[in-house]
């Protein structure tokens, strides 16, 4: 079975964030890493591979530094990596991202399962898996908190806010997984050493047959008009409980008409 895991290189959420004059995310000064939520997809692919026979390819798009996301996935145990690196990609929105990833998955060919995380930790839109499925003409079974592959069928559990659903589809399919599905492994020393010898291919848009005019900031179907930093919340009254803390809390809530 051929599994492709789509991963994203994101700015560290703990760092100071800012924006460029064109309202895109400032990435230069911020350390990046493999999006934490994608580790669950990599782990799930590895678990499937270990239980049966599968090749796990990790796919990313982004600038030079995004190679780190591929490297981390290979260290965890993925077999090979593909990095789409092209200047024209900068500023791409979800629509363009899905265009590029779909073209890459087509080029890889013979893919049985496309795995993704539930969303990126920077953009957090969670729409790319659905867009990928739409473009590839594949079923999507998304937000899986449990996943099993049996023959040509994938079955998941999906926990929504009003119901829990069991969804199944025949392969090939696009599947996104939540952070409830597993506990991602840390790369072992052996894994880190082995990753150095694993093949990583770098593809350009031309390699994919995607026109540069279809992607990037200029081709985005959405635009950021303005961005403002929310004024930091100022700290209100803090009391230390010396026997009357609960009463003080009750008084605050009553004064604000919550109680």
Partner 1 sequence: MAEVLVLVDHVDGTVRKTTTEMLTAARRLGEPSAVFIGTGFDAARDTLARFGAVKAYRIESAEVTDHLVAPAAEALAQLVERTSPVAVLLPSSLDGKEIAGRLAIKTSSGVLTDAVDVQPTDGGVQVTKSVFAGDFEAVCASTHGSPVVTVKPNSIAAEEAPAELADEVVEVTVSDAARTARIVERSAKQQTGRPALSEAAIVVSGGRGTGGDFGPVETFADTLGAAVGASRAAVDAGWYPHSSQVGQTGVSVSPQLYVAAGISGAIQHRAGMQTSKTIVAVNKDPEAPIFEMVDFGVVGDLFQVLSQAADTISGS
Nearest to 3 by CA among 101, 114, 108, 77: 114
What is the token pair recorded at 45? 């692919």
- How near is the Cβ of 20 to partner 1 at its closest, in Å? 13
Tokens encoding 54: 């599968």
142 binds partner 1 (CB under 8 A): yes
Q: Interface mask (CB under 8 A) for partner 1, residues 66-85, using x and -? A: --------------------
Supply the DSSP string of 14-55, one letter for each residue.
Answer: TS---B-TTSSBP-TTS-EEE-HHHHHHHHHHHHHHHHS--E
Interaction between residue 20 and partner 1 (CB under 8 A):
no
To partner 1, the closest distance from the beta carbon of 113 in angstroms equals: 14
Pattern 151-180, binding to partner 1, x per CB under 8 A?
----x--xxxxxxxxxxxxx--x----xxx
Q: How far apart are CA 162 and CA 207, in angstroms?
A: 44
In the complex, the smallest distance separating the C-beta of residue 179 from partner 1, rounded to whole angstroms, is: 5
* By CB under 8 A, residue 148 contacts partner 1: no
| Token pair in block for residue 46 | 């590895």
Q: How far apart are the first and last CA of the chain?
A: 58
- Residue 80 CB, shortest distance to partner 1, in Å, is 28
Residues 103-132 that bind partner 1 (CB under 8 A): 118, 121-122, 124-131
Is 92 buried (19+), middle (13-18) or exposed (0-12) by CB count in 10 A? buried
DSSP-derived letter for residue 2 is E
Number of C-alpha atoms within 13 angstroms, CB side, residue 50?
A: 9
Q: Using the rule CB under 8 A, is 249 a contact of partner 1?
A: yes
Question: Under the criterion CB under 8 A, does residue 254 sit at the interface with partner 1?
Answer: yes
Site string for partner 1, 177-216 (x = CB under 8 A): -xxx------------------------------------
Binds partner 1 by CB under 8 A, chosen from 59, 94, 100, 195: 94
Minimum distance from residue 197 beta carbon to partner 1 (Å):
34
CB-nearer residue toward partner 1: 37 or 59: 37
**223 touching partner 1, by CB under 8 A:** yes
If one counts every other C-beta atom within 10 angstroms of the C-beta of residue 90, the result is: 15
């Amino acid at each position: 079975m051929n599994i492709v895991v789509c991963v994203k290189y994101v700015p560290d959420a703990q760092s100071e964030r800012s924006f460029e004059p064109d309202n895109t995310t400032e990435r230069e000064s911020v350390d990046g890493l493999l999006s934490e939520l994608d580790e669950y997809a990599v782990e799930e692919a590895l678990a499937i591979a270990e239980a049966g026979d599968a090749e796990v390819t990790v796919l990313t798009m982004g600038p030079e530094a995004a190679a780190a996301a591929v490297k981390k996935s290979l260290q965890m145990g993925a077999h090979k990596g593909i990095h789409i690196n092209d200047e024209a990609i900068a500023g791409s929105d979800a629509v363009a991202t899905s265009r590029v990833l779909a073209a890459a998955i087509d080029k890889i060919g013979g893919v049985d399962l496309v795995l993704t995380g539930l969303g990126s930790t920077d953009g957090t839109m969670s729409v790319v898996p659905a867009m990928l499925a739409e473009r590839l003409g594949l079923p999507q079974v998304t937000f899986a908190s449990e996943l099993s592959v049996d023959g040509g069928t994938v079955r998941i559990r999906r926990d929504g806010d009003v119901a829990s659903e069991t969804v199944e589809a025949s392969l090939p399919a696009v599947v996104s997984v939540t952070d409830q599905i597993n506990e991602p492994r840390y790369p072992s020393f052996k894994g880190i050493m082995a990753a150095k010898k694993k093949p990583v291919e770098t593809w350009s848009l031309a390699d994919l047959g995607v026109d540069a005019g279809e992607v990037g900031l200029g081709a985005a179907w959405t635009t950021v008009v303005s961005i403002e930093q929310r004024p930091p919340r100022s700290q209100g009254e803090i009391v230390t409980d010396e026997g009357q803390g609960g009463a003080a809390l009750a008084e605050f809530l009553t004064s604000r008409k919550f109680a």
